[in-house]
Structure 1
Amino acid sequence: MELLDGSDPGAIGGYPLLARLGEGGMGRVYLSRTVSGRPLALKTVRAEFGREPGFEDRFAREIRNSDRVRSPWTTAVVDCSPAGQRPQWLATEYVAAPSLGEWVQRRGRLPERTVMALAAELCGALGAVHAAGLAHRDVKPSNVLLGRRAPLLIDFGIARAAEDSRHTRTGGVIGSPGYLAPEQAGAGGSGAPGDVFSLAAVLVYAATGLGPFSHPDEEVSAAVLLYRIVHEEPNLDGVPGALVPVLRSCLAKDPRQRPTAAALGALLERLGGRTGAWPRLLPEALEGDLSAREAEAHALVSAPAPVPPAFTGPPALPGAGPAVPATAGPGAGPVAPGTAGPAGGSARSRLSRRTGPALAGSAAAALIAVAGTLLVRHLSGGEGTGGTSPSPSAAALPASWAGTWVGTGPGTPDADGVTRPRTGQFAVTLTLHPALRGELVGKQVSKVTETGTGRELGCTEALQLREVRGTSMVFEAVTSHPTDRTAAVSCPEGNIYVVTMTDPDTLGLGEEGAQSAGAPSVLTRR
């Protein structure tokens, strides 16, 4: 990871750039964050790809495809560039973790029990991909992140769109030599069976430190590796004995002879490889590495950053649905308490010494899967480039915001009444007065009644002005207590509110943060 230099912009798409995480064939990868403090990995696309005929459509299609895969092991896109914008970019959630390729290169092969857990988890990842009617087509060690909660299968969209472009232009193969299926090596099509072949090759690498078609202490060309994949049998020396017949079946030359991801998962389970065991089987060294990376990422994202330009409009994702709001528990205001903790991920590279000892160590870029993908919308005053760009000194709530704002949402009348309370109308009153960033700016009072019991579940919060972004303000609840002080309701502090003035008498509650179920989406001036 390196500090930004003169060749790096201060922000892209309205997201502030905090550090450079790496650079590759696709473009540069930056550490960024959302307005509520969620870490992001922001990948830029090299101009040459953007100029390729049809690339923009492929880029958007692959991002839509990745959004169809919802699992604990696969990647989630947070935001992307609008159609026609250059440079093109893709923002993903950030987690601090090494790739399998990096870990094995630095620390050597994984212990047998960890390999077995890795096999089960990655089989689950492929199962989720294939169940969505998709194929990854580039499963390799550098695309597997050794996350704390689960391994993550990354680079679902941006790399595939680029590889398609290269394939169309040069007639070359799509994927990484050494981990390709024979049908890919022949420049033919590849689907789910090809992913199973590549997964097996990755597991051989995890267990032995070498791919199944590589030999110790050799440097061979891609052409030699492709020849071996098509014509030679895999080398499984050093693979745990129980896994040898399973991986051999996955590495069959004929894709029809390979098991499906579901069948492979069943085989692994009979051998003791079960999903969910991964966190308990991490090597001690990996635990320490993850902790160091997490601390470093927190320090970078928490450090004050310059106020970037306003966002330039909502991303153009043909067919993409709206953001998925988080559901709220009792006592939630428009932002559900306790649901907006930072999650994270991004691509790993060595930290520059220029960042100083406080940030010594390293960080990794990854795309972390979430239960429901949150597509963060730009918070601007209009579509395209029509938003207002604040100056760095614009760090005060404008006088036009002062006053009382009210709104009513539907509540949650259809909730199950067990995991989430069944409530009637959800009323919010927001009172604001002029303030500088960091000062108290007003308070919010929410009132929502539980159906049947009549219990008041709302909270009253004192708000601090946290950020100013053109027509959008970010508030943080620095104190919170039940609106009905006699009610036994939990009202945690720290809720984040992102509010946008859509016209002089209307405020919209943004989707960034964790919008409560049933809360109003619009407040009007009273």
Structure 2
Amino acid sequence: MVELWGSGAEPLEPEDPPQIGSIPLAGRLGAGGMGRVYLGVREGQYVAVKQLLSSVVGEDEDFRRRFGHELDNLARLPTEATAPLLASDRAANPPWFATAYIPGLTLREAIALHGGPLPAHALWLLLREAAAGLASVHALGMVHRDLKPSNIMLTLDGLTLIDFGIARAAEQSQLTRTGMVVGTPAYMAPEQASGTKRRLSGATDVFALGSVLAYAACGQPPFGDESGHGVLYRIIHEEPDLEPLRELEPDLAGLVAACLDKDPEGRPTAVELLEHAARKGPFAEPLWPTAITQRLTERTAFAARVQAIDVPTFPLTGGKPETAPDTGPVPVPVSAPVSVAEARPERPERPHRRRRVLLAVLPVVVIAGGTTLAIQHLPYTSSPRAEARTTQPTQPTSVTAAAIPAASTAGVSPSGAASPPAQPPAPGAAGGKGDNQGPGGTGGSPTSVAGGAGGGTQNGSGGPGGGAGAGGAGASHPSGGGTSTAPVTSAPPASGTYRYRNGNNNKCVTQVFGASDFGDCSDASARWTVKGRSDGSFKLSNQQSGQCLYSNGLHQAVFVGDCAQDLGRIWRTGSGGSLRSDLGGGCLDLGMSSGLVTSTCAGDASQRWTRQT
């Protein structure tokens, strides 16, 4: 067995394959709405293997063709900009590809680890490194299109941009062929947020880089951190909030403001940004703050000692043998622009690096005439456990509202019409039998969120309730028979302030800026006040910030924001100690490596939250 300490990977789960193609796997690096990412070993080095979900690819030959085209583009990218493509099999079912493993942290992870915004010297370094990577990409006539903190990987010797291509393949395939565009709202450029068919350029990435720098300096994106209509309206019509950055580093604030110009023609190029940042050097080692450097050192030490993985002597993944992997097109050496090479000095050869990435179809945005914005949310993040239990592709959820949205508690139907959330079966309903005939569920503890409601196991039949709860419910898989797929709802928790501890990793719900996270239960942001409502639902207000936990829909990330609104902020206690959102009906679940999401309620330990004082 491979020792994974320091890698950032988790052990393989029972449903994970032992190998993909000819690459044996050691652990799971993450999972998202479009695929899973594994840690493997190929030719004596660690690699990150990305395997798309069968439910995403399906019979969509157009997607396969465009996916193959994006792999060709990935092979063209310079190694100083991203993790190099090492192998792929676009004809496999499902397709996969492997890149070098990056021993790093995403910018989002690094800021959370540091405990706040980065210091001025680290911000200039972030600008220099990111601008250098973008300059190399733009020189090839390519655009990233989805630059954001989770797609920027810090390393001991700089940073690497990740997640090229997959979202573009989805954007241009049958999944989103109606003039919509892919991107993350808080980091979109106005030309993306407006949904116009204007061709995107390198200026689009420069705008996103400005938003990323503001996030790293101020703790939140310059137009807000929610994923709805409000942030899109502000991106198009309002000026960014850069006051904290102006106080910290006025020169950098001026550059960021230029990056955030509404007119693409008014923004500096990546090369110009690189030249500005290079003048702030030299940047002495260690490049990043102490806590970040320590974690990066662990990652690098792991990458340096490649361990052997036992390769199975017979196929374990089922079905016909996989086709032999191809190595893709031979990368064509491309000379970087002279200004890029001059501005950033030659760096020593990097160790093999991990590319940790959420493969995702992200929120999709389009203007539908007048001032009305329509947002189609496709699944873009989920926990490994959530992905494992999903047997059917999730249908998109459309949300239509005015440019300045009004608060609402209504659920949303796939057709875009608002409708009340589905009501769960009454407590005490008989548990149906699950899809794998497992044992019956046991009752929750008296201190659980559900107040002791019993719940069936993921694959088992409903068992007797415990504590103050009622009889267990069967599995929530669409294929499971017996009861409704909605989770059993228990009595709301008593008013008070609590910590919510997860049954999978014993971490507690915390707040990191405008996002939810899981962390040390002793953290000051781990205490949440229950604000009960007359219908038995409640809001969870963070005692430290006064902001409320809110869902952005099923299979979406969970954020923290203004308690005055209701949309997504209404929660109910569910079976097995779960917290169920009225928006989409999903249960609060662990994210990939940080953050929380809402996933299909299935009674997993990762969805069990024990309430503690």
Matched, 1:37 2:48: no
Shift of 1:3: 1.8
Change (3 A) 1:303 1:340: farther
Contact 2:31 2:384 in 1 (8 A): no
Shift of 1:269: 3.3
Q: C-alpha displacement at 1:157, in angstroms?
A: 2.0
Largest Rg, 1 or 2: 1
Decide which of 102, 108, 111 is 1:95's aligned counterpart.
102
Is residue 2:266 matched to residue 1:257? yes
Q: Does 1:233 align with 2:239?
A: yes
> How many Å separate the matches in 2 of 1:281 and 1:266?
19
* Structure 1 position 165, deviation (Å): 3.4
Q: 2:14 is matched by which residue type in structure 1?
A: G
The residue matched to 1:151 in structure 2 has which SS? strand
Question: Is the Cα contact below 8 Å between 1:167 and 1:174 reproduced in 2?
Answer: no
Bigger CA drift: 187-196 or 125-134?
A: 187-196
1:27 matched residue in structure 2 = 35
- Residues 277-328 of structure 1: CA deviation (Å, up to 9, x unaligned): 37442212111111222344566x41542346698434274xx22799xxxx
Report 1:5-404 matches (<5 A). 5-34=13-42, 36-50=43-57, 51-82=59-90, 84-106=91-113, 107-165=115-173, 168-169=176-177, 171-188=179-196, 189-214=199-224, 220-239=226-245, 240-270=249-279, 272-273=280-281, 277=283, 279-297=285-303, 301-307=306-312, 312-315=323-326, 317=328, 320-321=329-330, 343-347=352-356
> Structure 1 residues 93, 142: CA separation in 2 closer, same or farther (over 3 Å shift)?
same
Residues 128-164 of structure 1 deviation map (CA, whole Å, 9 limit, x = unaligned): 0010111111111000000112210111122332343
Check whether the contact 1:150–1:278 (CA below 8 A) recurs between aligned residues. Answer: no
Say if 2:104 and 2:156, in contact at 8 Å, map to a contact too: yes
SS in 2 for 1:345: coil
Shift in alpha-carbon separation, 1:278–1:210, aligned structure 2, 3 A: farther
Question: Quick one: structure 1 residues 210 and 286, their matched pair in 2 at CA, closer, same or farther if it must change by over 3 Å?
Answer: same
| Residue identity in the other structure for 2:93 | R
How many angstroms apart in 1 are the aligned matches of 2:331 and 2:254? 45
Q: How many angstroms apart in 2 are the aligned matches of 1:67 and 1:348?
A: 17
Q: What is the identity, as a one-letter code, of the residue corresponding to 1:313? A: A
SS of the residue corresponding to residue 54 of structure 1 reads: helix
- Cα–Cα, structure 1 residues 61 and 284, in superposed 2: closer, same or farther, change >3 Å? same
**Separation in 1 of the partners of 2:30 and 2:170?**
17
User: Does the residue aligned with 2:172 lie in a helix, a strand or coil?
Assistant: helix
Which amino acid is 2:310 matched to?
A: A
Which amino acid in the other structure matches residue 243 of structure 1? L
Cα separation, 2, equivalents of 1:46 and 1:351: 12
Distance in 2 between the 1:60 and 1:278 partners?
41
- Larger relative contact order (C-alpha < 8 A, sep ≥ 6)? 1
Q: Distance in 2 between matches of 1:59 and 1:135?
A: 16
**Structure 2 CA distance, aligned partners of 1:314 and 1:89?**
9
Partners of 1:66 and 1:199 in 2: CA distance? 20
Moved more, 123-132 or 72-81: 72-81
- Change in 2 beyond 3 A, CA 1:112/1:346: same
Deviation string, structure 1 residues 442-467 (Cα, Å, up to 9, x no partner): xxxxxxxxxxxxxxxxxxxxxxxxxx
**2:223 counterpart letter in structure 1:** F
Instruction: Calculate the TM-score normalised by the size of structure 2.
Output: 0.50
How far apart, in 1, do the equivalents of 2:330 and 2:264 lie? Answer: 35
Specify whether residues 280 and 172 from structure 1 end up closer, same or farther in structure 2 by C-alpha distance, changes over 3 A only: same
Q: Is the 1:119–1:273 contact (alpha carbons within 8 Å) kept by the matching residues of 2?
A: no
Long gaps (5+) in structure 1: 325-338, 357-526
Matched-pair identity in %: 39
The change in CA–CA distance for 1:111 and 1:167 in structure 2 (over 3 A counts) is farther
8 Å Cα contact 2:75-2:330 kept in structure 1: no
User: Structure 2 CA distance, aligned partners of 1:293 and 1:266?
Assistant: 30
Q: Deviations 1:47-88 (Å, cap 9, x if unpaired)?
A: 233233411121111121122221423231111114x32111
Distance of 2:140 and 2:109 partners within structure 1: 29
